[in-house]
Amino acid sequence: MTENFITQALGARLQNLHITAIIPAYNEAPRIGVVLDAVCKYPYISEVIVVNDGSTDDTAQVVRKFAKKCSKLKLVDLKNNQGKTKAMLEGVKHAQNADILVFLDADLRSLPHEYLDKLLYYLVEKNYDMTILDRLSDRSGPFGILALARFFGGERAVWKKDFVQIDFSDTKGYEIESTINLWYLQNNKRVRTIFAPKLHSAWQFKKWGTLTALKRYLKMFWGIYKKYGARNFYMQVLEFDDDTLIELYDWYKKQKNKKILGKVAKVVLTAGVAVGTVAVTVYAIKKQLEEKLRKGRG
């Protein structure tokens, strides 16, 4: 979706909404510039709040430098590292005028405006209550083939009036996305994941080192599984529309209240998600190999 498309589709409606981007960041000085450049140049975002979560590197200095040329950029500087949940909630506290909250991770290697367009377009025009970007780099990661990665996407858009109703008192660290997802499931909200083949985040094993990254991955997913259980994952597969399988989801919704067809629809949808995830994962790995070959020849 181009800027021309979103202008025609949404027009004055977006201009009349206060959209705040919230970016939690911990030791992201070498990477955060990519995201800041993208959001500062995106015309429909009214405000950008970076929450520096007790970084020990130059993250705060990089943000302050960007703020000199980006008037809508604000820095919230936490003295101590408090984890992603508290950093995101701190950002929301400062987004006092927001109608829509757009959460973004600080370690993206690219952030094409077309994906910000889609996050907002499906939220505002298609009556979804939350939209989540399904990063290609996540699909090719350790848990991508299990169709789980798209639920944990850090790039998501929500209406603030919904978000502030969620109880985060028992949530910490990287559990926040699952807490959000579970609330939307329990309240029969419409959620759509949007496949983003040009969206990549920093490879965690390069970012933190092999041993540390492995520990972080295992701690994150075990903590989420222990708290929310397998049923939460299964329900997300059934109820959160997958952008790559939207026609299958539309068919499932028409059949799910019928006794026999409903059961068949569940099986077909679950199988479709598995096949779709494997297909996208293979595509992602193929693209990564091609990129490595090109670099090797260059």
Please name the helix (run of DSSP H) or strand (run of DSSP E) that holds residue 102, with its range, or none: strand 100-103
pLDDT at residue 232, as a whole number: 81
Cα 147 to chain centroid, rounded: 15
- 192 band by pLDDT with thresholds 50, 70 and 90: very high
Please name the helix (run of DSSP H) or strand (run of DSSP E) that holds residue 4, with its range, or none: helix 3-10
Q: Which two tokens stand for residue 251?
A: 């068919």
pLDDT at residue 14, as a whole number: 80
Q: Which two tokens stand for residue 94?
A: 């400062």
pLDDT at residue 199, as a whole number: 84
Phi, psi for 215 (deg, rounded to 5): -60, -40
138-152, 191-205, 222-236: least confidently modelled range: 138-152
DSSP string, 36-97: HHHHHH-TT--EEEEEEES-SSSHHHHHHHHHTT-TTEEEEEESS---HHHHHHHHHHH-TT
Asked if 137 contacts 280 with a C-beta cutoff of 8 angstroms, the reply is: no
Q: Which two tokens stand for residue 165?
A: 């109703």
- DSSP 8-state symbol, 184: H
Mean pLDDT over the full length of the chain: 86
* 0.75 exceeded by pTM: yes
State how far the Cα of 147 lies from the Cα of 40, in Å rounded to an integer.
32
- 7 band by pLDDT with thresholds 50, 70 and 90: low
85-89, 165-169, 270-274: least confidently modelled range: 270-274
Asked if 76 contacts 51 with a C-beta cutoff of 8 angstroms, the reply is: yes
CB under 8 Å to 198, separation ≥6 — which residues?
A: 110, 112, 114, 115, 136
State how far the Cα of 54 lies from the Cα of 233, in Å rounded to an integer.
32
Please name the helix (run of DSSP H) or strand (run of DSSP E) that holds residue 284, with its range, or none: helix 259-297
State how far the Cα of 19 lies from the Cα of 21, in Å rounded to an integer.
7
pLDDT at residue 234, as a whole number: 83
Torsion, Cα 244 250 251 257, to 10 degrees, reads: 130
pLDDT at residue 150, as a whole number: 81
State how far the Cα of 56 lies from the Cα of 61, in Å rounded to an integer.
11
CATH superfamily of 3-244: Spore Coat Polysaccharide Biosynthesis Protein SpsA; Chain A (3.90.550.10)
Asked if 82 contacts 154 with a C-beta cutoff of 8 angstroms, the reply is: no
